């Protein structure tokens, strides 16, 4: 069974804090993704990565950065958290030939 | 810019009835995905449709893809309560690269 593990289910942070969201997958997938999910907007892609140390901006990268130092781990960084970054964050991984993305359980982040 | 629109966004139906969720998208793609999300849970892959005319069925759910019309449908037959969830379609913007654009989601409630 593919497992995508996000380090926290719930996080509460203050405005201006630096926030790290961690994601680990155990299936040796090349591709990893970070989305945010907001009611009525579906999922929107923040960043993705096709390989170690490679990253590409998604549709809403502003205010975020990512790090992929190892194949199994993909981190999302909020350099200076703001209230409009309060959301559900979902990590996913996938192998190109399998055509499926596998999602983690999500991290609900509240920025106060 | 690719837009993916689902219709309806909310659907309340009775057990035993049939209904269809529609997913329209605005640019050429021949890869479309359907996901299910239960409340408080992450996304689970339902169907992967990889060519024009593709049809996939699993239990009471059937998905189809018409790439010429840029339309996918998710048909529910003789609905049961367990199918209550939010359903998302997603289109692969970059063939095979898994760069997905999601619809807003359809929240389906099935009443006994």
DSSP assigned state of B94: S
* DSSP labels, B12-34: EEETT--EEEEEEESS--S-EEE
Range of the structural domain that residue A11 is part of? 4-111
Preceding omega of A57 cis (within 30 degrees of 0): no
Each residue's pLDDT tens digit, B11-24: 999 999 999 999 99
The whole-chain average pLDDT of chain B stands at 92
CATH of the domain at A37: 2.60.40.10
**pLDDT of residue B51 exceeding 90:** no
**pLDDT of residue B38 exceeding 70:** yes
Window B:71-110, CB contacts with A under 8 Å = 88, 90, 96-105
Please indicate whether, in this complex, the C-beta atoms of A31 and B43 are within 8 angstroms of each other: no
* DSSP labels, A61-103: -TTEEEEEEETTEEEEEESS--GGG-EEEEEEEE-TTT--EEE
Check whether domain B4-111 has CATH 2.60.40.10, yes or no: yes
Each residue's pLDDT tens digit, B53-85: 889 999 999 999 999 999 999 999 999 999 999
Residue B72, CA distances (Å) to A67, B54, B63, B93 in order: 35, 10, 7, 15
Q: Where in chain B are the domains?
A: 4-111
Res B96: pLDDT: 61
Q: Which residue has the tokens 């939010």?
A: B86
What the block records as the tokens of B24 is 């329209």
- Count structural domains, chain A: 1
Phi, psi of B82 (to 5 degrees): -60, -15
Please indicate whether, in this complex, the C-beta atoms of A104 and B50 are within 8 angstroms of each other: no
Cα–Cα distance, B21 to B54 (Å, whole number): 16
**pLDDT of residue B95 exceeding 70:** no
Q: What is the mean pLDDT of residues B35-43?
A: 92
Please indicate whether, in this complex, the C-beta atoms of B102 and A31 are within 8 angstroms of each other: no
């Amino acid at each position: 069974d593919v497992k995508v593990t996000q380090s926290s289910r719930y996080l509460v942070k203050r405005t201006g804090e630096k926030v790290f969201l961690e994601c680990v997958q155990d299936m040796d997938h090349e591709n990893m993704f970070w989305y945010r999910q907001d009611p009525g907007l579906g999922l929107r892609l923040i960043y993705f990565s096709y390989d170690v140390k490679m990253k590409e901006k998604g549709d809403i990268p502003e205010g975020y950065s990512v790090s992929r130092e190892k194949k199994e781990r993909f981190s999302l960084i909020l350099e200076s958290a703001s209230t409009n970054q309060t959301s559900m964050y979902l990590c996913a991984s996938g192998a190109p030939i399998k055509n499926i993305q596998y999602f983690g359980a999500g991290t609900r982040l509240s920025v106060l | 810019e690719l837009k993916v629109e689902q219709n309806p966004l909310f659907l309340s139906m009775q057990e035993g009835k049939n209904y269809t969720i529609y997913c329209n998208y605005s640019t050429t793609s021949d890869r479309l995905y359907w996901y299910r999300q239960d409340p408080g849970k992450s996304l689970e892959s339902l169907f992967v449709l990889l060519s024009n005319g593709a049809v996939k069925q699993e239990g009471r759910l059937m998905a189809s893809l018409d790439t010429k019309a840029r339309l996918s449908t998710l048909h529910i037959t003789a609905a049961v309560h367990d199918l209550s969830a939010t359903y998302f379609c997603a289109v692969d913007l970059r063939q095979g690269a898994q760069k997905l654009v999601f619809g807003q989601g359809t929240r389906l409630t099935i009443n006994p």
